[in-house]
A = this chain, B = another copy of it.
Amino acid sequence: MVEYKDILAAYERVKGTVNKTPIMTSRTLNELTNAKIYLKCENFQRIGAFKMRGAYNTLSQLTEEQRKKGVIAHSSGNHAQAVALSAKLLNIKATIVMPNTSPQVKVNATRDTYGAEVVMCENTIEARHSTTQDLIDKHGYSLVHPYDNDNVIAGAGTAAHELLNQVEGLDMVFGPVGGGGLISGTSIAVKGFNPNIKVYAVEPKNVDDAYRSIESGQIEKNETIKSIADGLLTNLSERTFIIIKKNVDKIITVSEQEILDAMRFIWERMKIVVEPSGACSLAGVLSDQIPIENKKIGVIISGGNIDLNDFFNLIQNKIKRG
């Protein structure tokens, strides 16, 4: 299992390359909650999400042999761009398997901006896995799993490690949970730093596999994947389940409306762009399930990559009409 020292070691590896992201606060938010809330803004991370930390920590530890052969990941989201950029920075060949339903803009960013090879496949879990496995069999690529990987988890934990050193005296830390990589790394960093600090994982009610897994004591699966928090649709792995059982004090579920309201608050009042998954942890803070009065609270904002086409098209049309 990943240990606190692994996160400290990961931090030494990534700190010259990933952004030390800022902490943002809001008077209005603090007055509203009667608490002190510190957002750890991984939306300002390179590629716009915390995923850069885990990907870079993993790729920078590959053997010479593995580097020569290259890496592979399947993702249409932040992990794809994180692996592609990390590979580019380390001069490693990266192949990204993406479903053929991916927005062209994401395909282009991964291929053109970060120089990865993009391989399209059918939009099913089976197709993704078999396409990836075929390429691994053929070329000997190293798979970089988005969360079921100790180095990815240790890298993800460096965000909380920074947070703990940026803000003194935190009472609790909230982070989102999807596959569980970020909350695993976060919880190890927090409990290693000070076991008295509470760690809360926040999950959309619509995809509450982690909540149900803790309730039942075994890994549960999501039956639907309908949530605006599109970074949190995946199920836990054995690896992340074990860490979460041990370290996370409670899993809180939030409705789609709560996620949207938190996101809107962050955009309108704090003027920063966060994606729905990134706003989930603040939705948990605001959901009144944990007493927060007079507490100092760290909140991991996981990313800010959201499709703004519709919004900018509205303004574009306004300009055209004159």
Pair B308/A264 contact, Cβ less than 8 Å: yes
Name which residue of chain B comes closest to A303, CB basis. B271
Does A138 belong to the interface (CB within 8 Å)? no
Tell me the chain A residues, 245-271 only, with Cβ under 8 Å from chain B: 256-257, 260, 264, 267-268, 270-271
Stretch from A147-155, A166-174, A209-217, A312-320 contacting the other chain = A312-320
Does A226 belong to the interface (CB within 8 Å)? yes
Pair B319/A228 contact, Cβ less than 8 Å: yes
Q: Mark A137-159, 1 if CB is under 8 A from B, else 0.
A: 00000000000000000000000
Does A48 belong to the interface (CB within 8 Å)? yes
Tell me the chain A residues, 261-297 only, with Cβ under 8 Å from chain B: 264, 267-268, 270-274, 276
Separation of A312 and B27 alpha carbons in the complex (Å): 23
Pair A46/B22 contact, Cβ less than 8 Å: no
- Which of B272, B308, B319 is A272 in contact with, Cβ under 8 Å? B272
Chain B hits for A46, CB < 8 A: 27
Separation of A27 and B316 alpha carbons in the complex (Å): 27
Separation of A84 and B314 alpha carbons in the complex (Å): 31
- Per assembly, the copies of the chain total 2
Interface size class of A (residues with CB under 8 A): 20 to 34
Chain B hits for A310, CB < 8 A: 311, 314
11 A-B pairs (CB sep. < 8 Å): A226-B322, A228-B318, A260-B315, A260-B316, A260-B319, A264-B312, A271-B272, A272-B273, A273-B273, A276-B315, A311-B314
Chain B hits for A228, CB < 8 A: 315, 318-319
Does A304 belong to the interface (CB within 8 Å)? yes
Interface of A is mostly: helix
Pair B256/A319 contact, Cβ less than 8 Å: yes
Name which residue of chain B comes closest to A256, CB basis. B319
Separation of A315 and B43 alpha carbons in the complex (Å): 19
Q: How near does chain B come to A199, taking the closest CB pair, in angstroms?
A: 25
Query: What 4 A-B pairs have minimum CB-CB distances, sorted nearest first?
Result: A271-B304, A271-B273, A311-B311, A43-B271
Q: How near does chain B come to A180, taking the closest CB pair, in angstroms?
A: 24
If A27-B46, A310-B311, A311-B310 touch, whether A267 touches B260 (CB-CB below 8 Å) is no
Chain B hits for A312, CB < 8 A: 260, 264
Pair A319/B257 contact, Cβ less than 8 Å: yes
Separation of A16 and B210 alpha carbons in the complex (Å): 45
Known pairs A264-B308, A311-B314; list 17 more (Cβ under 8 Å): A22-B22, A43-B271, A44-B270, A48-B271, A228-B318, A257-B319, A260-B312, A260-B316, A264-B312, A267-B273, A268-B273, A268-B308, A272-B272, A272-B273, A273-B273, A276-B315, A311-B311
Chain B hits for A226, CB < 8 A: 322
Separation of A268 and B48 alpha carbons in the complex (Å): 9
Separation of A274 and B271 alpha carbons in the complex (Å): 7
Separation of A44 and B271 alpha carbons in the complex (Å): 7
Pair A308/B267 contact, Cβ less than 8 Å: yes
Chain B hits for A315, CB < 8 A: 228, 260, 276
Chain B hits for A308, CB < 8 A: 264, 267-268
